[in-house]
Amino acid sequence: MSDEKTSQFDGDRVAKVLARAGVCSRRDAERMVADGRIAVNGRRLDTPAFNVTSKDKITVDGKPIAEPDPPRMWRYHKPAGLVTTARDPQGRDTVFQKLPASLPRVNAIGRLDINTEGLLLLTNDGGMKRLLELPSTGWLRRYRVRAFGRADEAKLKELKHGITIDGVNYKSIEAMLERQQGGNVWLSMALREGKNREIKRVLEALDLKVNRLLRLSFGPFQLGQLEEGKVEEVPRRVLRQQLGKNWQSIIDGTVRGAGTDKNEAAAEAAKEAATEATPRSRSDAKRGKLRDTSEPLKVRTPKGKSASKKPGRNESQQAPKGRNFKASGAKPSAKVPSSRKGSSDARGRR
């Protein structure tokens, strides 16, 4: 079998490889191929429907592309007034225009509306983006909401059974009334589905008009004390812990697309929505389960140091700086009773 035939049918599409190398988006790569700017093994491509392997040499405008960076993730505190898109036809400011120049080319995991603030996850890896956006992942997203009107607590509780608005079905939503302040009401809300403008449309159906919306968390990743407009990278060790077995599929570039098995994805999402968010155990990691918890990530205290101060324990309870906005968090989980004296664990520590 010739090298040309191997490149044409094995490996990944050239646009995907260019995107992973940080050259451009897949759509832009297709345009570059059409403009005759991409060559493989010295031969100019005339179609983006061409697969390449690690043995092929790809050049852009005659220059070889760099090796792709390992998968990475960043937490970004998105301010209001920015759109989550690379290019806006209306000329509005975008998230990507405000990011530090030191960041590589990144994509947003999901979207936030122009007036929505808070946690936006960014990644340089298309596989990670697709995995975390799949319905089967079902990570819980928590929000604080300020809305104009008076809330009916009974109707808010009914949202846990889902709601249908104008023929659109919205799945279970956790909604809790915090307080009524003048003409506004403060709510805490959590959902897994994340359809376009879901919170605003659901609350409009309850005669509440949202005038401020802040995302506090996306799965195990918290906004915490990250200042507005700031970016902070998630440690690689934490990514491996949270993604479990799926981490290897991201490294290998074998993450399935959202349309590969819609029935399985829907079943997985329903199963995840029916269970409480619990920390991922070591056995869960081997099975590839994703950790989903409203509690901040816990850091083990080194031996010999006091465990009285636990970093990250109350992160979600502290408000992000700016505009007197107080974020409420979940209560700390109850302590698990220690095992009886003389157990195998205790003997091992001694």
- Residue 291 banded pLDDT, cuts 50, 70, 90: very low
Least confident of 141-155, 238-252, 281-295: 281-295
Question: Hey, is 272 helix, strand or coil?
Answer: helix
What is the percent of the chain with per-residue pLDDT over 90, rounded to a whole number? 41
Question: Hey, is 5 helix, strand or coil?
Answer: helix
Question: Does an H or E element contain 338, and which?
Answer: none
Task: List phi, psi (to 5°) of 141.
Answer: -115, 125
Residue 312 falls inside a structural domain: no
Q: Residue 266: is its pLDDT beyond 90?
A: no
- Residue 257 banded pLDDT, cuts 50, 70, 90: low
How far from 130 is each of 19, 256, 270, 275, CA to CA, in Å? 14, 8, 19, 23
Q: What pLDDT is recorded for position 273?
A: 42
Q: What pLDDT is recorded for position 17?
A: 84
Residue 273 falls inside a structural domain: no
Closest CA to 40 of 13, 19, 67: 13
Closest CA to 233 of 72, 21, 20, 22: 72
Mean pLDDT across the chain: 77
Residue 196 falls inside a structural domain: no
306-328 pLDDT, tens digit per residue, is 444 444 444 444 445 445 454 44
Residue 27 falls inside a structural domain: yes
Residue 41 falls inside a structural domain: yes
**CA 255/CA 290 separation, integer angstroms:** 14
Tallying the residues shown for the chain, one arrives at: 350
Region 146-150: mean pLDDT is 95
Let me know: does 127 contact 201? Beta carbons within 8 Å.
no
- Residue 55 banded pLDDT, cuts 50, 70, 90: confident
Q: What pLDDT is recorded for position 10?
A: 64
- One DSSP character per residue, 160-192 reads GG-EEETTEEE--EEEEEEEEETTEEEEEEEES
**CA 305/CA 169 separation, integer angstroms:** 51
Q: What pLDDT is recorded for position 53?
A: 86
Geometric angle at alpha carbon 79, from 76 and 81, rounded to 5°: 135
Q: Residue 278: is its pLDDT beyond 50?
A: no
Residue 133 falls inside a structural domain: no
Q: Residue 191: is its pLDDT beyond 60?
A: yes
Q: What residue ranges in 131-288 does DSSP mark as E strands?
A: 141-148, 163-165, 168-170, 173-181, 184-191, 209-218, 221-222, 231-233
How far from 98 is each of 93, 231, 246, CA to CA, in Å? 8, 10, 31
**CA 53/CA 12 separation, integer angstroms:** 7
Q: Please count the structural domains in the chain.
A: 1
Region 230-234: mean pLDDT is 96
AA letter at 185: V
Q: What pLDDT is recorded for position 256?
A: 62
AA letter at 277: A
120-146 pLDDT, tens digit per residue, is 999 988 888 888 888 778 889 999 999
- One DSSP character per residue, 15-65 reads HHHHHHTTS--HHHHHHHHHTT-EEETTEE-S-S--EE-TTS-EEETTEEP
Residue 37 falls inside a structural domain: yes
- Residue 6 banded pLDDT, cuts 50, 70, 90: very low
Of residues 23 and 155, more confidently modeled: 155
Closest CA to 285 of 335, 237, 330, 253: 237
Beta bridge partners of 118: 78, 215
Residue 238 falls inside a structural domain: no
Instruction: Please list the active-site residues.
Output: 113
Let me know: does 24 contact 32? Beta carbons within 8 Å.
yes
**DSSP label at 83?**
B
Structure tokens of 245?
């077995």
Domain range for 36 is 3-64
Closest CA to 161 of 28, 288, 320, 273: 273
Of residues 329 and 109, more confidently modeled: 109
Q: What pLDDT is recorded for position 100?
A: 93
Which domain CATH number covers 28?
Answer: 3.10.290.10
